[in-house]
Amino acid sequence: MSRSARTHRMLTLAAGTALASAMLGGCTTQSAPRADISASRADVALKKGNVADAVAHAEAAVLADPRNASYRTTLGAAYMEAGRFLSARTSFDDAMALGDESPRTALGFALAAIATGDRGSAIEVLDDWQDDIPAGDLGLAFALAGDTARGVQILSNAVRGGDNTPKTRQNLAYALALNGNWAGARIMAAQDVPADQLDARISQWAAMAQPEETQARVASLLGTRAVADGGQPAQLALANTPSHQQLVAEAAALAVPAPVETRPVAVANAVGELPPLPIDDPAPVGSAPAIAAAAVRADEAHDFEDAFVPAAPTAATPARMMAAAVEFVSKPVVQSTAPRAAKARPVAGRSASSDAHALAAGNHLVQLGSFSSEAAAERAWGIYAKRFPQLSELEMVITKAVVRGKTYYRVSAGGLARAEAGSFCSSARRQGQGCYAWAEGTPMPGAVDAGVRMARR
């Protein structure tokens, strides 16, 4: 998958946002600054080194426009500068869930995950983005994550391959130190560090070489100090800010009394493959009736930010569906999402019979989301798996669909009995997650080449 916006420095993370954090709980849409104004103020504050102001402005930007991926990235950058690594990890994770495809965001997430002790997630993301993150940054990140031998190899190759800069040499020296090669670290560091400062540099590295000093290593790299962090404020949780398409999907389900088989377009809408509302200014979350009455246009489809639109139940009565919609919109849930998963690898040539064998434990599935790319769908599986640990025992199923001329990749979990699928969806909806149960061999309308899919346990 091709990606743009490549970065050249590890620590050049995005900036932007406004308003003091003390106002988060009480500000209203009438009194709060516009999101773009807050983001601009946060950018200025970060450039001036006013970290507290940057955090406050960044939080205000996210509060004003919670589904803007760039504002979430900015907030993560501000948290990193403030030494609030747990909050930064969540913010970068949210940005990626909303479609941020920048290597700098992936690198920011990896560093924050390392600082919070989640080395496994950090290495997973670094593996996924290894072709896009500059080698001088990638190698040191691997070393900080505990894979010191790999970090040394990447940095050594970079130096020999022409990236023989002071930054890359010093990153290699640090990686050698973390790998226990103190003699090599000293020799490499001496190429750029004055002789009278060399002992102090080696001593500093030695003091942070213990495995438990993860926070100190990342904080030192950033030039900040780690602080006690209770996590991102609940008001900013991504799961507490359903998109307008989520509300449309729930409301649309009530207007479709016909069975699923006779109304394929309505079903596609219900699972999140919806275009945006034909209005200039988005309606507030609370104005569900106006959203339900609004028409949609097929030529204005959103992409990744619409992907977590919840599915509408097909067997429920309108009254039950309305209750589920109200519960989803109103229930406060602090999202805990997983990092970017590995790149999608299609399992070519799988037949329907081999799929049936893979689903020997049950021939029912539950669809959790619909995405505009295979990579986004695969990454979403990691997010869902973090929310619902039971998914680790199920099969990931990604199916391709075309609805109103637009291609989607639907994410489902397979290997369930019929009753299990219904029970899973009931539980998922109680947690604010859309869910749609379906049977093997009877995919939803719009499915393309239903016998071939990607699968992983």
Q: Are residues 254 and 362 in the same domain?
A: yes
3-state secondary structure the chain: CCCCCCCCCCCCCCCCCCCCHHHCCCCCCCCCCCHHHHHHHHHHHHHHCCHHHHHHHHHHHHHHCCCCHHHHHHHHHHHHHCCCHHHHHHHHHHHHHCCCCCHHHHHHHHHHHHHCCCHHHHHHHHHHCCCCCCHHHHHHHHHHCCCHHHHHHHHHHHHHCCCCCHHHHHHHHHHHHHCCCHHHHHHHHCCCCCHHHHHHHHHHHHHCCCCCCHHHHHHHHHCCCCCCCCCCCHHHCHHHCCCHHHHHHHHHHHCCCCCHHHCHHHHHHHCCCCCCCCCCCCCCCCCHHHHHHCCCCCCCCCCHHHCCCCCCCCCCCHHHHHHHHHHHHHCCCCCCCCCCCCCCCCCCCCCHHHHHHHCCCCCEEEEEEEECCHHHHHHHHHHHHHHCHHHHHCEEEEEEEEECCEEEEEEEEEEECHHHHHHHHHHHHHCCCCCEEEECCCCCCCEECCCCCEEEC
Residues contacting 318, CB < 8 A, separation 6+: 253, 254, 257
Residue 146 pLDDT more than 60? Answer: yes
pLDDT level of residue 242 (50, 70, 90 thresholds): low
Residue 313 lies in a domain: yes
pLDDT level of residue 129 (50, 70, 90 thresholds): very high
Residue 275 pLDDT more than 70? Answer: no
Q: Are residues 59 and 129 in the same domain?
A: yes
Backbone angles phi, psi at 172, to 5 degrees: -65, -40
Residue 62 pLDDT more than 60? Answer: yes
Residue 189 lies in a domain: no
Last residue of a domain, one of 183, 207, 230: 230
Q: Are the C-beta atoms of 451 and 396 separated by less than 8 Å?
A: no
- Give the pLDDT of residue 15: 31
Tokens 């998963």 belong to residue: 341
Residue 184 lies in a domain: no
Amino acid making up residue 280:
D
- Give the pLDDT of residue 301: 38
Q: Are residues 320 and 377 in the same domain?
A: yes
Q: Are residues 203 and 258 in the same domain?
A: no
Q: Are residues 204 and 312 in the same domain?
A: no
The string of pLDDT tens digits covering residues 9-30 is: 333 333 333 323 333 444 444 5
Q: Are residues 96 and 243 in the same domain?
A: no
Give the range among 95-104, 303-312, 397-406 with minimum mean pLDDT: 303-312
pLDDT level of residue 241 (50, 70, 90 thresholds): low
Q: Mean pLDDT across the stretch 128-141?
A: 93
Distance separating alpha carbons of residues 312 and 1, to the nearest angstrom: 31
Q: Are residues 251 and 226 in the same domain?
A: no
Q: Are residues 69 and 203 in the same domain?
A: yes
Alpha carbon distances (Å) from 58 to 146, 266, 315, 332, 444 = 31, 38, 43, 22, 41
Q: Are residues 315 and 215 in the same domain?
A: no
Last residue of a domain, one of 208, 230, 252: 230
pLDDT level of residue 435 (50, 70, 90 thresholds): confident
Residue 56 pLDDT more than 70? Answer: yes
CATH number at residue 47: 1.25.40.10
- Residue-range definition of the domain harbouring residue 25: 21-133+194-230
Q: Are residues 249 and 211 in the same domain?
A: no
Residue 117 lies in a domain: yes
Residue 401 pLDDT more than 50? Answer: yes
Residue 373 lies in a domain: yes
Mean pLDDT, the chain, rounded, equals 71
Q: Are residues 293 and 205 in the same domain?
A: no
Residue 52 lies in a domain: yes
pLDDT level of residue 57 (50, 70, 90 thresholds): very high
pLDDT level of residue 74 (50, 70, 90 thresholds): very high
Identify which has the larger pLDDT, 249 or 270. Answer: 249
pTM for the model: 0.54
Residue 269 pLDDT more than 90? Answer: no
| Number of structural domains in the chain | 2
Tell me which range, 8-12, 143-147, 209-213, is most confidently predicted by mean pLDDT. Answer: 143-147
pLDDT level of residue 31 (50, 70, 90 thresholds): low
- Give the pLDDT of residue 240: 62
Last residue of a domain, one of 207, 230, 253: 230
Q: Are residues 105 and 129 in the same domain?
A: yes
- Give the pLDDT of residue 449: 63
Residue 171 lies in a domain: no
The pairing of strands 364-371 and 436-439 is antiparallel
- Give the pLDDT of residue 32: 64
State the sign of the Cα–Cα–Cα–Cα dihedral 193, 196, 202, 208. Answer: negative
Q: What is the CA radius of gyration of the chain?
A: 24
Residue 179 lies in a domain: no
